[in-house]
Amino acid sequence: MVSSALLRLHLSILIAGFTGILGKLIELDSFVLSGYRSIFTAAMFFCFLLITKNLIKIPAKNYVKIIALGTLLGIHWIFFYGSIKFANVSIAVICLSSMGFFTSLLEPLLLKRKLQIKEIIYSLISILGILFIFKFDSQYRLGIIIGFISAFLASTYTILNKKFVINYDVKTLLLYEMLGSSIFFIFCTPFYVSIFSFDKIIGTSSDYIYLLLLSSVCTIGLYLLQISVVKVISAFTVNLSYNLEPIYSIILAMIIFKEGQELNFSFYIGLILIILSVALQTISSIKK
């Protein structure tokens, strides 16, 4: 049973790695892509929970907070896919790995816990790696800056989400957050259309196929797979294993988009520093 769960765990990491790949394949810009992902996910997940009779109501007093969390997640997606569009998949996922640095600074502030100096030092090694990557080609610098903002937003969302995961069913919480993200994009779309054009929100048939895969397999399927794994394997092991996600994404991007041809020695030095940072954090967590 454990071996089956481990197989599902690494399948879920591989699926997570495909999130960035699909973001690259979809030709829509990051705002429209993120909007479709939120709306498609909310609609499909609502139907799934309704059919499986797992739809649970959340007290109205928490609606605003949960919708705000969903909005924060939606904005993170905009910046993550923006980083892919302005740079590439490899750089976007590496920038996302700086979440550890932002978490080490934000968690003591938001959750009122003691500042861990060791965590900050390990995270700074990761930041040094990203700085190596930052200097390797000026054409990717905007993508790297956007990627940093994406990591900051993702870290903030993850920390704030912890407060609600304790009190509510995780599937119900995801549904309400997706509804909140959808409301945000629906509200903002008229402003987006007024600045650009209506044609910008219309994708190709292949875009919609990839969006359905992104929403069903890489969002709902991934989430349900993670829940099934945590029932057998500790959350600690799952979190450590997910440190492999950027590596999976980079390998996939190199195979599918030939991104290895765009990267030079400075990039690989940065990548080694980031892997070192992840390894040190992993060893520290195991010792704890």
- Between CA 97 and CA 246 the distance in angstroms is 7
Count of other CB atoms within 10 angstroms of residue 107: 20
pLDDT value at position 263? Answer: 64
Average pLDDT over residues 10-26: 92
Kindly tell me the sign of the dihedral angle through the C-alpha atoms of 258, 263, 265, 267: negative
Picking from 217, 95, 103, the residue whose alpha carbon sits closest to that of residue 161 is: 103
* Two structure tokens written together for 201: 């929100």
Looking at every residue in the chain, the average pLDDT score rounds to 84
Whether the pTM exceeds 0.75: the reply is: yes
The type of residue at 75 is: I
First to last CA, the chain: 27
Which pLDDT tens digit goes with each residue over 177-222? 999 999 999 999 999 999 888 788 999 999 999 999 999 999 999 9
Which pLDDT tens digit goes with each residue over 100-153? 778 878 888 777 777 777 777 877 787 787 777 666 556 778 898 999 899 999
